[in-house]
Chain A
Amino acid sequence: MPTASYLPSSEDYLRFLPEIILTVVGTMIMLLDAILGDKQNQKPVFGYVALVALCAALGAALGGYSHMGPAFSGMLTIDGFATFFRVLVISVGILTVLSSFQYLKREHAAAGDYHALVLFSVTGQCVMAGANELIMIFIGLEISSIATYVLAGYLRDDKRNNEAALKYFLLGSFATAFLLYGIAWIYGATGSTNLTRINHFLAANNESGLLIGTAAALMFVGFAFKVAAAPFQIWAPDVYQGAAAPVTLFMSVGPKAVAFAVFVRVFFTAFDSISARWDPFIWASALLSMVVGNFAALTQTNIKRMLAYSSIAHAGYIMVAITAHNQIGVAAVMFYLAAYALMNIGAFAVVTYFCRQGERYVNIEDFAGLGWKQPMTAGLFSIFLLSLIGVPLTGGFFGKFYIFQAAIDAHLVWLAVLGLLNSAVGAYYYLRILVVMYMEEPGEAACSVAPPGAALQTAMWATALGTLLLGIRPSVLLDFVRSSSVFGK
């Protein structure tokens, strides 16, 4: 083979452009931060820079769709699936930055590092979305996770922030170790870390069952931790509650979405031929996540903690679609993650707005009477909550509908029935927020709140309109996810 083919082509760089932009700007922000020093009035600048970088990356990711194909000798592959998740996580980044302005200012936190970390985390997630190699997945995961660990403890004088970061880091690295161990087993058994080659190997020789099974199980542990699916969800409530509200907003969506993407890609390409073995585990994990998430959320008084349990339940719904193990299921996972991203970011944006300095008002009771004091914000919050419940004409409803359609198509009727009954349980705790917002007399917290700032309002409106759009015209997204839910093996 001529040496030239080992050098990356310009096409390769084009496919990798979003990650390049994000890394360069992220590093630049860190340098600028050091040069500019700790001047208060410089703070929003980093936010704007990050916003511009993310928008450019979004453009590059969309542009990458017309240059699909493998990059860097098959380490990455840019297909519809990767494009979808890159666009998703970059959009999550944009919404995170928009929601953070007011919060950072309020907490007098340094803005430079914060935005650099967000950009790095998004970079890692983009790498994961496009990875076609277990090693690339691992690298992307580490880039994303380490940045997120630091973000979780970003307000370093805050006790809860420290606790969250420590917990997240310890448990997270443990889970990553499982993943890495699984990768090592795979390499030992098949002699490759390339997903396509692993699949070919497994399809050709079916003798090394125990070895591969163990490897798949180890990797499952790693992924289940990252998506906060039961029984590996223990960290989520504490970390979500402890981290700063905009960080929780980011953490509950970005890393989770892309972990699902990798989960699906690895299990549906590499381990596709041994699906009969892992299907029961995912089935059980799906059911357990839904039950644990929904029932634990019922008794929560802290809204961040409640939304943490709710996000465990939502991970359970998504696992149902993975259990279905068909193309509709993959499309359903993608659609649901988009809808989930919109509604969950929206809900956390409202929490970010409402909690005030030092996160004083994070109890559900504090929202009493918000509906009459800030009707606009409360109205938007209601849209997110109704979407989380799964009421028609919102994205959450169609998400659930496609998931359970996939499940029933795969003859998982009982799982679908149990899942949907679970979502009826879920209705109860989301409704409680509506109850306090509209049916109780305004309390101190609701009376003292000022309308949200422009950036935060943009984030809320964008997510609300997106949620409604997915609920009224789901075809806009559905046609795309259906066509990009097949990956080459």
Chain B
Amino acid sequence: MNLLTAVIFLPMAGFLLTLPLPRENHKFIRYFTLAFSLVTFVISLFLIPGVPFGARPAGSGFSFDVNAAWINVPPIRYHVGIDGISLWLVILTTLLTPICVLISWAHVHKHEKAFHLSLLLLEFGLVGVFCSLDLFLFFVFWEVCLVPMYFIIGIWGHDRRIYAALKFFVYTMAGSMLLLVAIIFLYNKTGTFDYADILAATQKGVLTYREEALLFLGFFIAFAIKVPMFPVHTWLPDAHVEAPAAGSVMLASVMLKMGTYGLLRFCLPLFPTAAHDNAGWISALAITGIIYGALVAMVQPNMKKVVAYSSVSHLGFVVLGLFTFTQQGLDGAVYQMLNHGVSTGALFILVGFLYERRHSLEIKDYGGVATRAPHLATIFMITMLASIGLPTLNNFVGEYLVLQGAALVHFRLAVFASIGVILSACYMLWLYQRVFYGRASESLMHHLPDLGTRDYWSIVPLIVLMVWMGVYSESFMPPISAANAAALPGIGAKKEMHVRNLQDRQYRPDSLASLREFFHADR
């Protein structure tokens, strides 16, 4: 049996095996889910040697390629495979699922069976999304992810959970309907759902420019809602805040990546011309998201909201990197997807720890936590510094590459984007200061045990990854670079590798014309 297919269907097998278990037996269900997801994770690690760390494999360019018939007419195939980009996203998913089981151990007290079923179904959908090489299959997995997440937010969330769950579902549904129209349209044009065949067809030019532009928009809007990009991000703070810790972690770390992954895998290679023509305003939106997200994060009274808006900001970097069409930008964007998965996931876990102890997400209810729980404070510190982008920790590498890519295209993009880095230091440090320093209130002292063994098990892997990815990115980067390098010619990359001189154009900071020029020049 193909290893990748095994990784995709193991969570499904876990789901089906859990289904008949009696729901009173929740302790067993917990252990069972934990064991099952750990086994899935270990097996998924064996995918790494199968993906070449240098050049891409010959043929389709994807490893573990399986192409089996599913539906004859229209020809929908079970076609999966991974390259350097999807490899890490799959492993991120399989790593975070057991961690989510662990962090929910203590505070999911109702309907445990349904919770673990949802988690397994979610893992199945997410892994499937990153491996699908058939557009229809991709859409199926894309939608499959939606349902368990909807339940996770709606059943185990906080007070406004129902509103948040509905908003999440309807936003994504609206986007995915556009995606479906676009996919069907592509099928009617090319007669196939197969990614490689469609890629070949669009490169041969079966689409008129108008069609390409509209299809690009269809795909782009669906993915932009998922990312989420400013101004369609409004579902995200609600969903994040109301979701239980495990939901927030899966949502931030993996589900948001579905959007950016979709942009990289489909939007750019399939519609390169339209992507180039629209890159101006998309980069502008990305930068707006970076700065806006950071500014809004700064004034939030709720810890989860701070982290949620910081996600808007960080994902802005990813989109900016993608639309530079440079090797550095794409590498940085993919690396940033993983970084954000690790560090924001860790932040949500840590906020979850605080919530578990004090049952509040409001910053004003905390203060002086460091005196009572020094281990928690230290780990939070490392995670926060990683999220800010401190050198030697993971986010620095990604942000640096994105900024470099942006600078290659247009230096001013990098200038504005880097404001986001500065602001992230502001809101994160301020958050840390208010929560962990100062004098601890009387009630807080009684409710704050330090990290337990189970807490360590769930957070330490992520801390290790933060340092590893920050210090030695060579362990992770080569397959990503190889995949991007192979995709770049199709995307129509910029080959010149020099920073443009600011003096070569009249720079008038006070006029609107320069602003317009700012976003449109050099494209």
Does B512 belong to the interface (CB within 8 Å)?
no
Cβ contacts under 8 Å, B165 to chain A: 435, 439
> In chain A between 373 and 411, which residues have their CB closer than 8 angstroms to a CB of chain B?
375, 386, 389, 391-393, 397, 401, 404-405, 408-409
Taking a contact as CB atoms closer than 8 A, the residue among A421, A432, A434, A475 that contacts B71 in the complex is: A475
* CB 8 Å contact bits of B109-125 with A (1 = contact, 0 = none): 00100100000000000
Encode B130-154 as 1/0 by CB contact (under 8 A) with A.
Answer: 0000000001100110110011001
B155 touches A439 (CB 8 A): yes
- In the bound complex, residues from chain A placing their C-beta under 8 Å from that of B180 are 401, 404, 420
The distance in angstroms between the C-alpha atoms of A408 and B186, with both chains bound, is 10
Residue from A372, A397, A409 within 8 A of B111 (CB atoms)? A372
In the complex, A154 has a CB within 8 A of chain B:
no
By the criterion CB–CB under 8 Å, are B140 and A405 in contact?
no
Which B residues are in CB contact (< 8 Å) with A404? 180-181, 184
In the bound complex, do residue B140 and residue A408 qualify as a contact, i.e. CB atoms below 8 Å apart? no
- List chain A positions with a Cβ less than 8 A from chain B: 371-372, 375, 386, 389, 391-393, 397, 401, 404-405, 408-409, 413, 416-417, 420-421, 423-425, 427-428, 431-432, 434-435, 438-439, 473-475, 478-479, 482
Contact, CB under 8 Å: A405 / B187: yes
Whether A438 touches B151, Cβ cut-off 8 Å, given contacts A416-B181, A420-B180, A423-B177, is: yes
* CB proximity of A307 to chain B, nearest CB, Å: 19
In the assembled complex, the CB of B69 is this many whole angstroms from the nearest CB of chain A, namely 9
Q: For the complex, count residues of B whose C-beta is within 8 A of A.
A: 33
A-B contact pairs, 13 of them (CB 8 A): A371-B114, A391-B147, A392-B144, A397-B143, A401-B184, A405-B188, A421-B177, A427-B170, A427-B173, A428-B166, A439-B155, A474-B71, A475-B73
- Inter-subunit contact A428/B170 (CB<8 Å): yes
Smallest beta-carbon distance B109→chain A, Å: 13
Please tell me if the beta carbons of B170 and A416 are within 8 angstroms of each other in the complex. Answer: no
Smallest CB-CB separation from A402: which chain B residue? B74
Name the distance in Å between A221's Cβ and chain B's nearest Cβ. Answer: 31
Interface residues in B177-232 (C-beta closer than 8 Å to A): 177-178, 180-181, 184-185, 187-188
- Inter-chain CA distance A417–B184, complex, in Å, is 11
Complex-state Cα separation, A26 to B488, whole angstroms = 71
Shortest B182–chain A CB gap in Å is 10
Binding site secondary structure of chain B: helix
Query: Which single member of B74, B150, B161, B181 contacts A420 (CB below 8 Å)?
Result: B181
Other 6 A-B pairs with CB < 8 A, given A375-B23, A397-B143, A434-B151? A371-B114, A372-B111, A401-B184, A417-B178, A421-B178, A434-B154
Q: In the complex, what residues of A have CB within 8 A of residue B147's CB?
A: 386, 391
* 6 closest A-B pairs by CB: A420-B177, A392-B140, A424-B174, A424-B173, A392-B143, A439-B154
Q: Which residue in chain B gives the minimum CB-CB distance to A422?
A: B177
**Is B32 in contact with chain A by the CB < 8 A criterion?**
no
Interface flag for B72 (CB, 8 Å): yes
Known A391-B143, A421-B177, A435-B166; judge A405-B74 contact (CB<8 A): yes
A408–B23 touching, CB < 8 Å: no
How far is it, in angstroms, between the C-alpha of A257 and the C-alpha of B185 when the chains are bound?
Answer: 28
Residue of B nearest to A410 (CB): B188
**Inter-subunit contact A431/B150 (CB<8 Å):** yes
CA distance A442 to B71 in the complex (A): 41
Cross-chain contact of B155 among A393, A417, A438, A482 (Cβ < 8 A): A438
Q: How far is the CA of A478 from the CA of B173 in the complex (A)?
A: 26
Residues of A within 8 A of B36 (CB): none
Residues of A near B188 (CB, < 8 A) are 405, 408-409
B397 CB-CB contact with A under 8 Å:
no
For A482, what are the chain B residues with a Cβ–Cβ distance below 8 Å? Answer: 73
A393 contacts B140, CB within 8 Å? yes
Residues A408 and B144 in contact in the complex (CB < 8 Å), given A431-B150, A439-B165, A474-B71: no
CA distance A428 to B172 in the complex (A): 12
Contact of A479 with B181 in the complex, beta carbons under 8 Å: no
Closest to A414 in B: B181
- Who on chain B is nearest to A411 by CB? B188
How far in angstroms is the closest Cβ of chain A from B50? 28
Interface pair A439/B181, CB less than 8 Å apart = no
B26 to chain A, nearest CB (A): 13
